[in-house]
């Protein structure tokens, strides 16, 4: 029980850690506190969790992330000569957190009730984030928000318009996370729940959809649409598949081929995501063309921490630090090379496929709906990470990796339900 409480605390902390930093004005080591909470949870689990429960780690999910962690460790010897300090800082989000989160959640969150509590925490704090974002836009910014814009967050003011970031790291993370949990809440609302719960979930989903819009994050669209497509396919309901597909196509056509609503800044920003002539898109494509020529010489990449914020901080003498990836897919390619990128994307697609297979084999309606919600959310965040660094940032990172752990435990949850029903009979 103690391990579960610490892990719940960690999930909550990953939502509000930047809020605590901004509003307190104190710069504390966010990453180190995440690791401290993970280590505490692991130590408690070692003492309290029964030996047979540790068999939950005997899955391809755990071994794949262990394999990726080993590859990431070996990157410290990358001949490109990237900074060791940059490697140390980057490996945390790239490989350490995924491995530890999957490991600890697989042995601590082991019941259907744990799944329900996790979903409640995620939906509640995502809704609070939406409300805080609405407050930022319509009421005003706090002192901490203003300081953030003044010292490092200048890109969140475009032509005098605020890109809402709520209490997240920045607007891109906020928008993508809102799209992710908006979809999760909507799917849960369509499941076998009480009318009161359905209404609450629909309200939360609507608030998060608005939160996604006001973030001004165009990439969030690519968390919502692919995730919704996966959810519709997994439902195996052909009427819903046809209706949902039609709605999605009409929505995209509305954005692509009309100018309706352009007077609204949020709609205009989202519409530009489908504009092939958008200056921001062309800058990214130009950067990728530059990287393509350079990366052909280094098939194993430039090493962890050679690009992005750690590249600017610890590898300023390297060419790769001067080209912003603007995408987690591109970042993996730059750091690990084409060899590492193929391994990583193959891992992700295999895990997604395995999750889909688990959903198809579930018979319990309640579990099936929750499994569809988690799987479609993972698919959405994975696709969205092509446009922004999302899957490697909090809170999306911890939500996704705990979700994957739950997916691999779903068959055991269903077996337990069957055994309980037999006992009652």
pLDDT at 293: 82
pLDDT at 233: 87
pLDDT at 57: 96
pLDDT at 367: 95
- β partners of residue 157: 162
Cβ–Cβ < 8 Å for 313, 85: no
pLDDT at 179: 93
Cβ–Cβ < 8 Å for 233, 376: no
The DSSP H or E segment spanning 228 is: helix 221-235
**Nearest of 113, 107, 118, 109 to residue 42 by alpha carbon:** 107
pLDDT at 274: 54
Task: Quote the percentage of the chain above a pLDDT of 90.
Answer: 58
The length of the chain, given as a count of residues: 425
**Nearest of 11, 383, 399 to residue 220 by alpha carbon:** 383
Cβ–Cβ < 8 Å for 320, 290: no
**Structure confidence by residue, pLDDT tens digits, 73-124:** 999 999 988 899 999 999 999 999 999 999 999 999 999 999 999 999 999 9
pLDDT band at 323 (very low <50, low <70, confident <90, very high): confident
DSSP state of 200: H
pLDDT at 163: 81
- β partners of residue 59: none
Cβ–Cβ < 8 Å for 167, 13: no
pLDDT at 132: 94
Q: Where are the beta strands (DSSP E) in 271-397?
A: none
**pLDDT at position 4 over 90:** yes
**Structure confidence by residue, pLDDT tens digits, 267-314:** 666 555 555 555 555 556 666 777 888 888 899 999 999 998 899 889
pLDDT at 392: 92
Q: 216: left (phi > 0), else alpha (psi -120 to 50), else beta? A: left
Mean pLDDT of 251-264: 62
Backbone angles phi, psi at 208, to 5 degrees: -70, -30
228, burial (CB in 10 Å: exposed 0-12, middle 13-18, buried 19+): buried
What percent of the chain is helix, strand and coil (3-state, nearest 5)?
75, 0, 20
157, burial (CB in 10 Å: exposed 0-12, middle 13-18, buried 19+): exposed
The DSSP H or E segment spanning 335 is: helix 328-361
The DSSP H or E segment spanning 162 is: strand 161-162
pLDDT at 417: 86
**pLDDT at position 153 over 60:** no
Give the distance, in angstroms, between the CA of residue 177 and the centroid of all CA atoms in the same chain. 6
- β partners of residue 158: 161
**Structure confidence by residue, pLDDT tens digits, 237-247:** 656 656 656 66
pLDDT at 155: 66
pLDDT at 102: 97
pLDDT band at 67 (very low <50, low <70, confident <90, very high): very high
**Nearest of 290, 261, 291, 256 to residue 275 by alpha carbon:** 256
Q: Report the chain's mean pLDDT, rounded to a whole number.
A: 87
**pLDDT at position 11 over 90:** yes
pLDDT at 135: 93
Highest average pLDDT, of 206-210, 230-234, 326-330, comes from: 206-210
pLDDT band at 219 (very low <50, low <70, confident <90, very high): confident
Distance CA 91, CA 97 (A): 8
Distance CA 158, CA 272 (A): 14
**Nearest of 344, 322, 331, 343 to residue 386 by alpha carbon:** 331
Distance CA 107, CA 333 (A): 32
- pTM score, two decimals? 0.92
CA angle 408, 405, 237 (to 5 degrees): 55
Return the number of other C-beta atoms located less than 10 Å from residue 217's C-beta: 30
pLDDT at 281: 54
**Structure confidence by residue, pLDDT tens digits, 163-217:** 888 888 888 899 999 999 999 999 999 889 999 999 999 999 999 999 998 887 7
């Amino acid at each position: 029980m103690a391990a579960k409480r610490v892990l719940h605390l960690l999930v909550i902390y990953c939502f509000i850690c930047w809020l605590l930093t901004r509003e307190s004005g104190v710069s504390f080591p966010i990453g180190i506190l995440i690791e401290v909470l993970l280590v505490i949870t692991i130590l408690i689990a070692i003492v309290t969790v029964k030996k047979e429960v540790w068999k939950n780690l005997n899955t391809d999910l755990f071994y794949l992330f262990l394999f990726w962690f080993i590859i990431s460790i070996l990157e410290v010897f990358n001949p490109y000569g990237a900074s060791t300090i940059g490697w140390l800082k980057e490996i945390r989000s790239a490989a350490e957190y995924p491995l530890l989160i999957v490991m600890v959640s697989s042995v601590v969150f082991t019941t259907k009730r744990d799944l329900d509590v996790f979903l409640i925490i995620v939906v509640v704090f995502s809704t609070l984030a939406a409300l805080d974002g609405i407050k930022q836009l319509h009421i005003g910014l706090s002192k901490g928000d203003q300081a953030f814009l003044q010292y490092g967050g200048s890109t969140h003011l475009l032509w005098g318009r605020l890109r809402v970031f709520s209490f997240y790291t920045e607007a891109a993370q906020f928008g993508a996370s809102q799209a992710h949990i908006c979809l999760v809440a909507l799917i849960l609302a369509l499941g076998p729940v009480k009318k009161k719960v359905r209404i609450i979930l629909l309200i939360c989903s609507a608030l998060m959809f608005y939160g996604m819009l006001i973030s001004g994050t165009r990439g969030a669209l690519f968390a919502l649409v692919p995730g919704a497509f996966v959810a519709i396919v997994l439902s195996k309901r052909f009427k819903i598949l046809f209706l949902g597909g039609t709605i999605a196509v009409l929505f995209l056509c509305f954005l692509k081929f009309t100018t309706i609503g352009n007077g609204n800044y949020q709609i205009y920003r989202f519409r530009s995501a489908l504009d092939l002539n958008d200056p921001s898109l062309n800058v990214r494509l130009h950067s990728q063309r530059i990287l393509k020529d350079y990366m052909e010489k280094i098939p194993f990449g430039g090493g962890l921490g050679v690009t992005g914020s750690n590249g600017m901080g610890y590898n300023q003498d390297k060419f790769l630090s001067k080209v912003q990836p603007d995408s987690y897919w591109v970042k993996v390619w730059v750091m690990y090379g084409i060899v590492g990128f193929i391994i990583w994307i193959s891992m992700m697609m295999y895990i997604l496929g395995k999750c889909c297979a688990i959903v198809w084999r579930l018979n319990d309606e309640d579990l099936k709906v929750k499994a569809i919600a988690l799987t479609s959310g993972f698919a959405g965040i994975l696709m969205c990470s092509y446009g922004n660094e999302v899957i490697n940032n909090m809170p999306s990172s911890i939500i996704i990796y705990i979700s994957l752990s739950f997916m691999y435990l779903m068959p055991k949850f269903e077996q337990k339900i069957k055994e309980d029903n037999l006992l009652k009979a």
